[in-house]
Amino acid sequence: DKKKDLTGKEVLLTAGPTNEAIDPVRFIGNHSSGKMGIAIAYELAEQGALVNLILGPSHIPVDHPLIKVFKVSSASEMYQSCQQHHLSADICIFAAAVADYTPETVATEKIKKSEDEIILKLKKNVDIAASLGKVKAPGQIHIGFALETQNEEINALSKLKNKNFDMVVLNSMRDSGAGFQHDTNKVTFYFKNGDRQNLALLSKKEVAAHIVTAIKSLTPPN
Ligand code: PMT
């Protein structure tokens, strides 16, 4: 049985992809399954934390008395739901793969096939982690992810700083068995104080346990 070290802590956690509607039958999405974030939710709940899980479209069932699931579809819905749970959170973890752009307009009817080429105009979404990072409460811990395909470390460190994270978890698409969909992940932690920690290829459950241990080293006890 796990030590219930996190009893009394409240967590805001995003996971899964977002779907950005193009018309009533199509969307722009990504390959996130929700596995990484959901593994973190279970680890936190097993240690006694109350987890508000803001979950984009995912097929993975979640069932734990300490995990409250708020299902959302688009980045904008995810942002609204996060805003509801940010103020009361002791710990915020941003594991979702959020679309950076969304169609400027959503067609009300299915777009018909006619022209050889059509142009889809996109506008920027709110950056949820960056926006909540600007209103981080004193003592609140923010943990982000960085999913990269190149210049991994530079990009991870710039996300750590720009989004006001206390720690960023880097996963690279160049590492086999890391990132989207797999049951495994290979990550490096970068902390605000300059520390870093490299982990081997592990199951997402094991990675989640390491993330929670790292969070506990940053969190003031109850
Ligand atoms: O779900 P799985 O299949 O298990 O895959 C896990 C994962 C690869 C999705 C996960 O480990 C991961 O890396 N999640 C973050 C993916 C991502 O979108 O990274 P990013 O580098 O684009 O974003 C940086 C950070 O800002 C992330 O914490 C992200 O949640 C956050 N963000 C980004 C854009 C945005 N509009 N709002 C955000 O909050």
**What is the DSSP secondary-structure string of the chain?**
----TTTT-EEEEEESB--EEEETTEEE-----SHHHHHHHHHHHHTT-EEEEEE-S-------TTEEEEE--SHHHHHHHHHHHHTT-SEEEE--B--SEEESS--SSPPPS-SS-----EEEPP-HHHHHHTTPPTT-EEEEEEEESSSHHHHHHHHHHHTT-SEEEEEETTSTT-SSS-SEE-EEEEETTS-EEE--SEEHHHHHHHHHHHHHHHSPP-
- Dist. CA 113 → ligand 1 center (Å): 33
pLDDT surpasses 80 at 9:
yes
Read off the pLDDT band of 3 (50, 70, 90). confident
- Dist. CA 17 → ligand 1 center (Å): 8
Domain ranges of the chain: 10-106+119-218
163-197 burial, b at 16+ Cβ within 10 Å, e below that, comes to: bbbbbbbbbbeebeebbbebebbbbbbbbeeeeee
CB distance 101 to ligand 1 below 6 Å: no
Nearest residue by C-alpha to atom 24 in ligand 1:
146
74 phi and psi angles, rounded to 5 deg: -90, 170
Q: Nearest Cα to 36, choosing from 180, 217, 200, 197?
A: 180
pLDDT surpasses 80 at 91:
yes
Question: Catalytic: 164?
Answer: no
Q: Is 145 annotated as a binding residue?
A: yes
pLDDT surpasses 80 at 2:
no
Give per-residue pLDDT as tens, 115-172: 999 999 999 999 999 999 999 999 999 999 999 999 999 999 999 999 999 999 999 9
CB distance 190 to ligand 1 below 6 Å: no
Q: Which of 38, 145, 183 to mutate to test the pocket of ligand 1 (most atoms within 8 A of CB)?
A: 145
**Which residue matches tokens 């890391």?**
178
**What is the DSSP secondary-structure string of 183-205?**
SEE-EEEEETTS-EEE--SEEHH
Predicted TM-score (pTM) of the model is: 0.97
Average confidence (pLDDT) over 164-184:
96
Return the pLDDT at 219. Answer: 81
Give per-residue pLDDT as tens, 20-40: 999 999 999 999 999 999 999
CA angle 165, 168, 172 (to 5 degrees): 150
Read off the pLDDT band of 222 (50, 70, 90). low
Domain 10-106+119-218 belongs to what topology?
Rossmann fold (3.40.50)
Positive or negative torsion for Cα 194, 215, 206, 174: negative
